Amino acid sequence: MAVRKKKEESTTALVEVHRIERAILWIRKRRVMLDMDLAALYGVPTKVLNQAVKRNQERFPPDFMFRLNRREKEKVVTDCDHLSRLRYSTTLPQAFTEHGAVMLASVLNSPKAIEVSLEVVRTFLRLRAMFSSHVELARRVDELERRHGGQLTQVFAILRELLEPARGKGKRIGFEAG
């Protein structure tokens, strides 16, 4: 019985992590999550989440939260299947940075909000670590190529090919609004 419960908890956590990763978008050169996705994760209606933000505006400066403009909204609706229901909404969604998502947990102040906010932070940290490790690896390959370039030309060509997605030429998570 205990093994079954542990497996169910593990599966639930994995689903939550996947939902969080899918919900993190790249907008205005920042990783953010939209109010709709955070409300679903925290188990509250989007309207309730936005009312809590409105009552606590001083806790959400521009580096924690911003409202999407019409072009950004159209772009997320086009690029993200799970946001298709935003297409007919007259309200522009709000985007929360990692810090804004954590602040939401304190404003909503429910056990589920606190639990989910921890997973949101962990997911943002994993993404940050993945990005920085790719950058560090690319820097080291550059250094090795400068030192031993003539001797290992083929090896460096293969390494460059493998590092291309890490340097921004591959598929990115989210999108960047123009």
For the chain, report the end-to-end CA distance as a whole number of angstroms.
Answer: 52
Q: Which amino acid is at 118?
A: L
Q: Which is more confidently placed, 25 or 18?
A: 25
Residue 113 lies in a domain: yes
Give the model's pLDDT for residue 160: 67
Residue 155 lies in a domain: no
Residue 119 lies in a domain: yes
Distance from C-alpha of 48 to C-alpha of 169, rounded to nearest angstrom: 39
Give the model's pLDDT for residue 178: 55
Distance from C-alpha of 65 to C-alpha of 98, rounded to nearest angstrom: 9
pLDDT, tens only, 40-89: 888 899 999 999 999 999 999 999 999 999 999 999 998 888 888 888 88
Whether the per-residue pLDDT at 39 is higher than 70: the answer is yes
| Domain span including residue 116 | 2-129
Residue 166 lies in a domain: no
Give the model's pLDDT for residue 164: 66
Residue 78 lies in a domain: yes
The top-scoring range by mean pLDDT among 18-27, 33-42, 80-89, 111-120 is 33-42
Match 């019409």 to its residue by tokens: 70
Whether the per-residue pLDDT at 2 is higher than 70: the answer is no
Q: Burial level of 119, CB count in 10 A (0-12/13-18/19+)?
A: middle
Residue 157 lies in a domain: no
Beta strands in the chain (DSSP E): 25-27, 30-34, 65-67, 94-96
Q: Which pair of structure tokens corresponds to residue 47?
A: 């309207």
Q: What angle do CA 112, 113, 116 make, to 5 degrees?
A: 80
Distance from C-alpha of 30 to C-alpha of 96, rounded to nearest angstrom: 10
pLDDT, tens only, 145-163: 677 666 666 666 776 677 6
Number of compact structural domains in the chain = 1
Q: Above pLDDT 90, what percent of the chain?
A: 28
Give the pLDDT band of residue 129 (cuts 50, 70, 90). Answer: confident
| pLDDT (mean) for 108-132 | 77
Q: Above pLDDT 70, what percent of the chain?
A: 70
